[in-house]
Structures are given as structure tokens and as C-alpha cells.
Chains A and B, each alone.
Chain A
Amino acid sequence: MVERQPIRLVVNGKSVTTTVEPRMHLIDFLRDELQIKGARVGCEHGVCGACTVRLNGQMVRGCLVLAVRTTNCTVETLEGASDRGDLAALQAAFHARNALQCGFCTAGMLLAAAELVATRPDSSREEIREFMSGNYCRCTGYQAIIDAIEDVLSARSGSVAGGKKC
């Protein structure tokens, strides 16, 4: 039996002090130990992106992060980002464009989209597609997601609506 190790981190703005088994990945920690379900499990290979969360402000694959490594870190899930209003424009755009159907990929899509909007606001449509290509969606076919992101970028830059609804 491997010993649990202490960690102390901030999750969705709240301080968490506990112990974890070293092998536990961040998503299982959030879901099973903290009951934060907005962090999802899709493949555990780091490919599908359903598990995307923010670690120290950057998006990461939660299934490829050990909880034991997150001491002194801040972690934010979709719920946390949503509750503090950080994703309001994207959420509204996604809703208006129906850029989600079953919702399982949505945490990953929103957090990835938010990182794009924050760090690459001049992205072309093709660049948006490329950036978002790390997140698998089976329901939407991606176009509505790209449109929603374009809508948010256009609104920010104040330019004439770039989001064309074909």
C-alpha cells in the first residue's frame, strides 16, 4: 500500500488541504474527492480533451496531471470559471449558436476557446479550427463552435460580424 501524500492547493477559489494517493490523476481527484463533476473523463489518454481544466491559469489535460503534483497550484474547472463570470461571452455565444449538444466536450471546448480568445485574439477561422483541434466533439461537427468563437472575437475587436451563419 502506497502512502497518501499531503497536498494543499486552491480549487475554484477555495483552499483545499488533503492527502492523495500518488497515482490519482487530477480529474479523479476533483470528481471523486471534491465532488466537482464538471471535470470529465473521456479517454484518460490525453487525446479527447473532455478533461480540460485550468492549472495555474493554463489549460491542461487533467487526466495527465497527478493531483499530488498540484500542491501550491490553483486549479479551475468549468464551474469555477463560469461562476466568476470569466466565460460569459463564450457561454452566451455557444448557447446562441447551439455550439454544444450532449455537453460532454463542452468544458474542454469552453476552456480551450477561452485560452484562444485571451492569447490569440487575431486568429483567422482556420487558426481557430487548428487551435480547437485538440478537443474531440462527436455531436456538433465543430462548425457551430468555430462560429461562436468567431462571434466573440468579432465582438471584442469591434469589427463587423465575422461569424457567418452559412
Chain B
Amino acid sequence: MKAPEFDYVRARSLEEVFSLLDEYGDEARILAGGQTLLATLNMRLSEPQILVDIGGLSALKQVSVVGDALRIGTMVTHAEIEDSAVVRKHAPLLSEVAPFVAHRAIRNLGTLGGSIAFADPAAEWPCILVAMRGVVIAQGVEGQRRILADEFFIDLYTTALRPGEIIVALDIPLSGPNSIYAFDELTRRHGDYAIVGAVITGEASKEGFLKDARIVFLGTGNTPDRAHAVEQQLETTPLTRAAAATFARALDITPGGDLYNSAETKLHLARVTLERLLAKLAQKLEVPEHG
């Protein structure tokens, strides 16, 4: 279908962005990569009055190391993350996950910030951000603030951004020498939104523990789902391949169903995915130099 009419401004500064957001309120949408927004508009699912294009703000396109974090500007595309040597060095999990995001043509334009702001629980980046203990840097007329990923995703398509605020960058803690991770998602077709996906991050300890583990699911709830019970068990029990099944049985998330999969199926698939990822990490713990 053809999109409904809307007005358009290519913002020349952040101030202009905030001023327009203030003026138009709910009737304005931020245009970043447009890969989600424009599809929505083409289906006439939404009829905003004005699109505020932030694509011209070069400050939002940077990737750099800032202190102990990798700072990725909101307008950095999925393709740029996929291809970036800096990202591969400091946050290799991002490099590994990027190819799972849709398809390359979408990745050439779609942005990390756009994905985080849209907060689709079936998307990869919100889940990864939580798993990596990322920080959202939001900015509005009142200035910048930092929002922990854990506190950012509130409900389906709902974030902690206040009206008039946009995401300007994401901070990802630099990966350290003992950081290990595993990611997988189940899709019926490559590039689809996953039925279920999970990422596990943590620090490998010499005693065979996965410390500071975070286990986050995508596609199961209205926001990225943390498997708190399993995370806690990992603090006290070594992660071995034999134990993977036991850990997985302790999974405490309650997924909802979707068009093709009942809630029970999702839970089953979540457990299977978790067990497989834990087994993979257990293997890495056995061979520490590969961690």
C-alpha cells in the first residue's frame, strides 16, 4: 500500500530534533534507518503528521572506544556493525549476531538505535543489549542521561524514553579476556524474526564456573526475558556439559504463544536452546584458551 501523507524535516541539529518533538508530540516520528517505520507506514498502520529525519547528524554515526565501553552511535547501521573491525575487537558478540538481523539489504540501512528504540522483543539487539549490560544514552532538551538496558525495555514496543527524548548512542562494556558468550536463535527461515533465541554472556572462571552470567531470551515475552533462576544457579554450580540439561530444566521464564507456536512450544524450545547454548559454553570452559 502507499503510505499516508506526512510532512518531513531533515534535522540539522539535535536542538532542531528536540524542538520538533516538542512541537508535534505524538504526531512526530523519528526517522533513523526507516526499515521498520516505513514498512509500518506503507501498511498504513500508523499515520504520523511528521517524520524527523536524524540521518544527517554525523555525530550519531560514530563507533569509538570511550573509557571502558564501546560507544555506538544510534545511526550506525547493522551492516556497519557486521563489518566493523573495532566492534569485532571489543564486542565480538555484536559481530556474531549482526548477520542474524534480517537480510543484508535491510542491514545496509537499518540502525542499532532504531532497533533498540522500537523495542521489538523478537529482535536481536534489545536482547543482546541486556545480555551485555549495555547502556542507552538518551538525550532531550534537558540533556543526556544514561539508562541501563535492564531498565530500558518496559513492555511491548515500550521503552523508558521520555517524550521528546531520542537515543543518541549505546554503550557496550568492552569485552574482557575471560568474557565468553554463546548465541543462537531458532528460525524457520534464515533472517526471519526468531521463534525463540537466546544469548548467554559471562566470565569464564578457572574453576569451571560461568560467573556474572546473563541469560536473555528473545521472542518469548513482551521484553527481553532474563532467566534469573538459571543465572543464579550458575553462580554456585560449575557449568559442565553433563549439567546443561539440569540447568535448562530450571528455566523460569513464561513465554507467550505466537501465530505458529503455543506458549508450551515456546517454553520447550527455549529450554532446548538454553541447554544447547550451555553445553557449548561448557565446552569453552573446558578449553579455557578458546574462551
Contacts and interface: CB of A to CB of B under 8 A. Distances in A.
Q: Do chains A and B touch in the complex (CB under 8 A)?
A: yes
B189 A133 contact: yes
Nearest to A71: B10
B53 interface: yes
Interface SS majority for chain B: loop
A123 B43 CA distance: 35
Interface stretch (B34-42, B156-164, B235-243): B34-42
Contact of B38 (A28, A46, A133): A46
A59 B31 CA distance: 19
A137 B253 CA distance: 38
B108 interface: yes
B104 interface: yes
A59 B38 contact: no
B104 A131 contact: yes
Interface in A78-95: none
B108 A58 contact: yes
Given A44-B1, A46-B39, A68 B8 contact: yes
Contacts of B31: 66, 69
A36 interface: no
Contact of A45 (B7, B8, B43, B104): B43
Contacts of A25: 3, 38, 42
Contacts of B104: 59, 112, 115, 131, 134
Contacts of A63: 38, 42
B200 to A, nearest CB: 24
Interface string B1-24: 111111110100000000000000
A115 B1 CA distance: 28
Contact of A60 (B42, B43, B102, B108): B108
B2 A28 contact: yes
Given A66-B34, A134-B102, A45 B108 contact: no
A23 B5 contact: yes
B4 to A, nearest CB: 7
Given A64-B34, A134-B103, A134-B106, A44 B6 contact: no
A23 B105 contact: no
Contacts of B10: 69
Contacts of A64: 34-35, 38-39, 42, 106, 109
B126 interface: no
A46 B7 contact: no
Contacts of B39: 44-46, 64
B55 interface: yes
Interface string B48-60: 0001010100000
A150 B227 CA distance: 43
Nearest to B53: A69
